Amino acid sequence: MSNASSIRCLITAGPTREFIDPVRFLSNPSTGKMGYALAEAAVAAGWTVDLVAGPVALKEPDDVILYPVVSAEEMFHHVDALFDACDVLIMAAAVSDFRPVQQHAQKQKKEEASKSIEFERTIDILKTMAERKAHQTVVGFAAETDNVDASARAKLEAKGCDWIVANKVGEAGAGFAADTNKVTLIAADGSSLKIGPTTKAAIAKELIQLITPSAT
The per-residue pLDDT for 143 is 86
Residue 190 lies in a domain: yes
**In terms of residue numbers, what domain contains 177?**
4-100+119-214
pLDDT digits (tens, 9 = 90+) for 156-179: 999 999 999 998 887 766 667 677
Q: What are phi and psi of 7, to 5 degrees?
A: -80, 125
Q: What share of the chain is helix, strand, coil (3-state, %, to 5)?
A: 30, 30, 40
The per-residue pLDDT for 168 is 85
In whole angstroms, give the CA distance from residue 50 to residue 134: 19
pLDDT digits (tens, 9 = 90+) for 95-124: 999 999 999 999 988 888 888 899 999 999
Residue 105 lies in a domain: no
Residue 112 lies in a domain: no
133 by Cβ neighbours in 10 Å (0-12 / 13-18 / 19+) ranks as: middle
Residue 109 lies in a domain: no
pLDDT digits (tens, 9 = 90+) for 35-80: 999 999 999 999 999 999 999 999 999 999 999 999 999 999 999 9
Residue 111 lies in a domain: no
CATH code, domain with 58: 3.40.50.10300
Residue 113 lies in a domain: no
Domains contained in the chain, number: 1
Report, as residue numbers or ranges, the catalytic residues. Answer: 28
Residue 94 lies in a domain: yes
Residue 110 lies in a domain: no
